[in-house]
Chain A
Amino acid sequence: MSYLEILASILVGINVTIKVTLYAMLYAVPFAFFFGVAQYFTTGPMRLIVTSIIEFWRSSPVIVLIYGFYFSLPSLGVNLSAMTVGAMVLGLNIGGYGSQAVRAALQALDRGQVEAGYALGLRRLRILYLIELPQALAAMTPTFINQFIQLVKGTSLVSLVTLADMTFLAKAVSQIHYAPAKIYTALLLVYFLMCYPATIIGRMIERRVSRGREATHEF
């Protein structure tokens, strides 16, 4: 098998990889913002509840979560497709990491920002999305991009629950034609080409964000 044939047969699965990534983002982004802000605002027992939900998704191994949810939900009477379960688990896991970026970025802001908002007569929630979130967004973007890369790489796990993504197809092809070196090299290259642009963009943004911060602390 030539590299071109191998690439052609692997790339058939790229739409599944992209689909899982996009669906997972639908879970990850709202989860990150909602729980990040919730953790920032709450105190006492409420904060404990919020933190436990975040830690459940963030600190459990994704591979165990995927197997666990895919296989045990049907026995609890919930029937979801592999795509839904994969996207949900990956999304909430990445969302858990994202929520920490949101919280850290909000906490890093100067106290004076909130006080200035109050002084202007704004209510707390309006201060949050008119003053705090826009400023915090810059600080969380590099983490979000890194998490996006983790997500794209994480989608390879859905091959374990029978979804025909690129990894699944590569495995299938290597069972028919015995050429693992070529097939897995091609697969690694495809993932690299998908993630590397994000790495470069992330690095550029990170440099810009930190440069902006230096400037404000100059005087």
Chain B
Amino acid sequence: MNFSFEFAISILPRILSTFTTTLMVTIAGCIGAALLGFFWEILRRSSKFGRYLMRFLIDFVRSTPLLVQIYFFYFVLPEYGITLPALTVGVLALSLYYSGYLAEVFKGGIDSIPKGQFEAARALGLSRLQLIFLVIAPQMLRNVAAPTGNYFVSLLKATPYLAIIAVPEMLSIALEIASETFRYTEPMTVVGAIFLTLALCFSALVKMIETRLRLSPKAA
């Protein structure tokens, strides 16, 4: 069987019809992962118990496959009476998985803030929350922009995992077309090409931000 361009183009609209789902899942996942990751990192720094607990939880999330985590949430939550739509479960799982990685990134970002900043904040009598959100977070964001962007790109590439819990997104539509027509090559190529293009565009964007941050003078 040969690759048919007409067929590939004819299925393109159907696959692209779920493009917004992919985009929404990516955006929601990124926001969720960043907020959770920052929260874990704050908890890790708040007390000795928090440090050990969060270190273990972050390592646990990072040491288990995303696929299994998705299965876990999808099949185990209903057993405790929590039935969420597959889409929500997917976004939750993606957020949690990537929050583990982002917490580590944020840790590096906070570690590289000069110690004087913390001392100055204390000298000014700022409260803990003010210290976190007015002093630490803005400076950390600058340090972590590039690696965070890279994890966002990899979150985008992980969205097709949602196909396995029957969320209608691009990969699941492609598999659906494939099982209707018994042609796998074209739908898979189309989906692969869309994701590849998206990932490369976002990587280029991240690189651009990285260069701009490096060129602009650091706040003294």
A interface with B by C-beta (< 8 Å): 55-56, 59-65, 67-68, 71-72, 75-76, 149, 153-157, 159-160, 167, 170-171, 174, 180-181, 184-185, 187-188, 191-192, 195-196, 199
Contacts and interface: CB of A to CB of B under 8 A. Distances in A.
Given A167-B68, A181-B76, 20 more contacts: A60-B157, A60-B199, A61-B159, A61-B171, A62-B157, A63-B161, A63-B163, A64-B188, A68-B184, A71-B185, A71-B188, A156-B67, A160-B67, A170-B71, A188-B64, A188-B68, A191-B63, A191-B65, A192-B63, A196-B63
B188 A72 contact: yes
Given A153-B66, A191-B64, A191-B68, A60 B196 contact: yes
A174 B196 contact: no
A75 B63 contact: no
Given A192-B64, A199-B59, A59 B188 contact: no
9 contacts: A63-B163, A67-B175, A68-B189, A72-B184, A167-B71, A191-B63, A192-B60, A196-B59, A196-B63
Contacts of B171: 61, 63-64, 67
A20 to B, nearest CB: 12
Contact of B69 (A75, A149, A188, A196): A188
A160 B158 CA distance: 15
B59 A156 contact: no
B84 interface: no
Contacts of B199: 59-61
A39 to B, nearest CB: 15
Q: Which of A63, A184, A187 has the most CB of B within 10 A?
A: A63
Contacts of A185: 72, 76
Contact of A63 (B59, B63, B160, B183): B160
A68 B188 contact: yes
A59 B72 contact: no
Nearest to B199: A59
Interface size class of B (residues with CB under 8 A): 35 or more
A191 B69 CA distance: 11
A59 B68 CA distance: 22
A71 B178 CA distance: 9
A8 B29 CA distance: 35
B183 A75 contact: yes
B164 interface: yes
A195 B199 CA distance: 27
Contact of B192 (A65, A157, A187): A65
B112 to A, nearest CB: 13
Contact of A75 (B1, B60, B157, B160): B1
Interface in B49-74: 59-60, 62-69, 71-72
A184 B64 contact: no
B63 A72 contact: no
B195 interface: yes
B191 interface: yes
Contact of A184 (B66, B68, B164, B196): B68
Contacts of A167: 65, 67-68, 71
Contacts of A55: 196, 200
Contact of A64 (B1, B164, B192): B192
A196 B63 CA distance: 6
A187 B63 CA distance: 12
